[in-house]
Amino acid sequence: MSGYFWTKHALSRINERSEIKELWVIDCIENPDKTKLEVDEAGDKIHYYKRIVDFDNRVLEVIVSANSTPPRIISLFFNRNLRNKL
């Protein structure tokens, strides 16, 4: 799946939520509307946010490990709290 490492959790999320397309996940990472760095003892993470026009303008959030090569996709979901704020 592209040039990214998908964790088991991320793969289960994309399989459980069939409405989320892999193309949207990659576009969210490569062309985000917003990013946020989360510094954590367990490892730094980058949160990528992208409004998905083709899916009622919902905001997709993709969480990626900041220190891994290739980039490791940890989780992904539609963030309801940001729907009208991004």
Taking only the tens place, the pLDDT of each residue in 22-72 is 999 999 999 999 999 988 887 799 999 999 999 989 999 999 998 888 899
Q: What is the pLDDT of residue 1?
A: 53
Count other C-beta atoms under 10 Å from residue 48's C-beta. 22
* Token representation of residue 75: 């989780």
**Residue 80 predicted with pLDDT over 90:** no
Q: Give every CB contact of residue 13 below 8 A, 6+ residues apart in sequence.
A: 20, 75, 76, 77
| DSSP assignment of 8-33 | HHHHHHHHH-TTS-HHHHHHHHHS-S
pLDDT (average), residues 10-23: 88
What pLDDT was estimated at residue 2? 67
